[in-house]
Amino acid sequence: MNKNIPQEIQRFDLSARIQHIIMFTTFLILSFTGWGLKYAYVVPSSAWIHIWGGPRIAGIIHRIAGIAMLLDFIYHQFYLLNLARKKDLRLTIIPMPKDVVDMVHNFMYFLGLRKEQPYFGKFTYLQKFDYWAVYWGMFIIGTSGFFLAFPVTVSALFPTWTLPWAWDVLFIMHSDEALLAIVFILIIHFYNEHLRSEYFPMNWLWLTGKMPIDQFKHHHPAEYDYLFGKGSEKKK
């Protein structure tokens, strides 16, 4: 290996890792308490909710975790602004037409119709979806959650004729979008980042921020070429 190429690549700095830890910790707390609250009077959820101190205490924990997640999300925006100020922000997380091509290419690779995986950059199309889904989720779940958390105050914002059905719509928005997020995280995100054979039982990237250079070259060849000037091997 070239002496100028490190054995590990730093993917995420300490601040990004802390933000991620806060995000997934609050997500887990919200999932556990939210599921129990939604089915508080249905067995076995009725037993599960008592682990959290009953519906009232679980509701308080749920709100605190929601506020912590929101603050973490807001902090992330300032984190991005600071990177932009220092001119360290590359727009590699922005979805591009190439991501659609990569997705089709990847499916063909899975089906054995292509011999090589796509020429992925710093982030794959699935990683970009993971990232931007947080913005969508914060808007849908966060807004509806705020309304549901303060019903008396928020009621003044709604026209009187909407009150008979507005809360039902907000509850459906909040719980169903949360359920969609839980399913996606458990099945897609968790498998791709931790349960694949090369990572199992754990990908320590979330904790160390570092990735072995061989894995990095394999999964993000375009970014590898960008950083180390090996682009002659394969062009876009």
Identity of residue 197 = S
Give the pLDDT confidence score for residue 230 in this predicted structure: 67
For the residues 91-100, what does the mean pLDDT come to?
94
Residue 150 and residue 143: Cα distance in Å, rounded?
11
pTM above 0.85, yes or no: yes
pLDDT digits (tens, 9 = 90+) for 53-65: 888 999 999 999 9
Residue pair 221/119 in contact (Cβ under 8 Å)? The answer is yes
Residue 218 and residue 224: Cα distance in Å, rounded?
9
Identity of residue 62 = H
For the residues 68-81, what does the mean pLDDT come to?
96
pLDDT digits (tens, 9 = 90+) for 193-235: 888 888 888 899 999 999 999 999 999 999 999 998 865 444 4
Residue 30 and residue 70: Cα distance in Å, rounded?
12
**pLDDT band at residue 2 using 50, 70 and 90 as cut-offs:** low
Residue 52 and residue 59: Cα distance in Å, rounded?
9
Residue pair 181/133 in contact (Cβ under 8 Å)? The answer is yes
Sign of CA dihedral 191, 193, 195, 201: negative
Centroid of chain to Cα 130: 5
For the residues 125-135, what does the mean pLDDT come to?
93
Return the bridge partners of 210, or none: 10
Structure tokens at 65: 């975790």
**pLDDT band at residue 140 using 50, 70 and 90 as cut-offs:** very high
Residue 27 and residue 187: Cα distance in Å, rounded?
15
